[in-house]
Amino acid sequence: MSKDELLQISDKHAKKVINIGRFAFNTRMAWLIGSSLFLGSEAFICSAAQPRATTNNHPQSTNNNPVYTVNNSPPTALGEKLSAVDKAKAQVIVEQSRKAIQSNFNDVIAWTNLGEALRRTGDLPGAQQAQEKALQINPKLTEAKLGLALIKKEQGKIAEVIPELRTIEEEGKSAIAHYNLGVELYYQGKLDGAIASYKTAIRINPNLALAHYNLGLALQAQGKLDGAIASYKTAIRINPNLALAHYNLGLALQAQGKLDGAIASYKTAIRINPNLALAHNNLGLALDDQGKLEDAIASYKTAIRINPNLALAHFNLGLAFKKQGKKSDAIAQFQQARPLYQQKGDTKTVADIDRLIQELS
């Protein structure tokens, strides 16, 4: 499960505001990565972004827009371009599926896998034809129905998605259908409905790790940190290599002031996925809270090395340098963060950065 490799990130964030002199500024910024998706014969993780403030002074945000997958092709966020590695993997699946179809034209799994792989490479017409062929062979194939729903989602036919998912639900006790209905309800901000659907999916299949994980995200979006933590821990028990579950567990623990647990969770997420830039950033925040400023700076620098356009890491590094009295270094980081926030249209943070630079000049 590698969607924690992906990360479609928008630079929205929640901020802790403190008073400095005669003005307030946003002190540090962190992300909570969320993930929701279509599941097929195998599950994958995908992420997008949306902010949410947590219950204490740590600035946390959550990427809770659901994304969907249906089967064995490599994961990607909705509308996101595949990385070179994922594109190569998708192409391998396309070739393997076509070979399987040549050997057995009625290989329904090959058709639905072909459809999903083509979707991931951006060939929506080809993907639709493959999923429709799968349904011709087996009109009851849930994965193909979900694949077509995902294609409609990418085509912007939002109004058709939930009714189709409800129809799939009514056809049988499918944990996947209940799960994906939860995803779509979550996408629309209907958290109670999403939670109910995730719980139904879990009742049908208690070992569906991503259902527990996404249940945690929904509970956390409601401010129910204890419930979210329990769900993340269950997901991790089922799948210890679910990096995003470790990461989000860390943020929930940090929101409760449990820094040692948060740091341990961030480090586990990084061990599983060393390129998870946001984990390095938030590890830096937790270390900073423990007074380990040099270690925090090292984490921020790693986050920037992985993702040079991660504005909040530049911002946090600038604040760390400011604490150390390294004015020129702090200004340099704020100057790098400024255009990144400007590109996002975040005029509030741009104004705060301008005040900080003026103060340090």
**What one-character-per-residue DSSP string does 211-271 give?**
HHHHHHHHHHHTT-HHHHHHHHHHHHHH-TT-HHHHHHHHHHHHHTT-HHHHHHHHHHHHH
Q: Could you tell me where the beta strands, DSSP code E, fall in the chain? A: 17-20, 23-26, 32-33, 62-63
pLDDT at 173: 64
Residue 156 phi, psi (nearest 5): 85, 10
Q: What size, in residues, is the chain?
A: 361
Question: Which of 168-177, 283-292, 307-316 is least confident?
Answer: 168-177
Q: How many whole angstroms separate alpha carbon 164 and alpha carbon 296?
A: 48
Question: Which of 24-28, 151-155, 250-254 is least confident?
Answer: 24-28
Residue 63 phi, psi (nearest 5): -100, 95
Amino acid at residue number 151? I
pLDDT at 84: 67
Other beta carbons within 10 angstroms of residue 309's beta carbon come to: 15
Question: Which of 10-24, 67-81, 104-118 is least confident?
Answer: 10-24
pLDDT at 87: 75
Q: How many whole angstroms separate alpha carbon 124 and alpha carbon 148?
A: 10
pLDDT at 72: 29
Arithmetic mean of pLDDT, 23-42: 38
Residue 142: band (very low, low, confident or very high) from pLDDT cuts 50, 70, 90: confident
Q: How many whole angstroms separate alpha carbon 190 and alpha carbon 257?
A: 29
The most confident of the ranges 70-79, 165-174, 308-317 is: 308-317
pLDDT at 32: 44
Confidence check: pLDDT of 254 > 80: yes
pLDDT at 159: 74
pLDDT, mean over the chain: 77
Confidence check: pLDDT of 35 > 60: no
Residue 212 phi, psi (nearest 5): -65, -45
Question: Which of 11-15, 108-112, 262-266, 321-325 is least confident?
Answer: 11-15
Q: How many whole angstroms separate alpha carbon 26 and alpha carbon 316?
A: 10
Residue 202 is given by DSSP the state H
Residues 220-246 have pLDDT tens digits of 999 999 999 999 999 999 999 999 999
Residues 7-31 have pLDDT tens digits of 222 233 322 222 222 222 334 455 4
Helix, coil or strand: residue 23: strand
- Domain positions in the chain are 3-67+157-308
Helix, coil or strand: residue 36: coil
**Which position has the token pair 């129809």?**
167
Nearest CA to 213 out of 188, 247, 184 is that of: 247
The most confident of the ranges 69-73, 139-143, 298-302 is: 298-302
Take residue 172 and report the two structure tokens written for it.
Answer: 């049988």
Residue 48 is given by DSSP the state B
The CATH number assigned to the domain with range 3-67+157-308 reads 1.25.40.10
Q: Please answer whether residues 78 and 154 qualify as being in contact, where contact means their C-beta atoms are separated by less than 8 angstroms.
A: yes
pLDDT at 83: 62
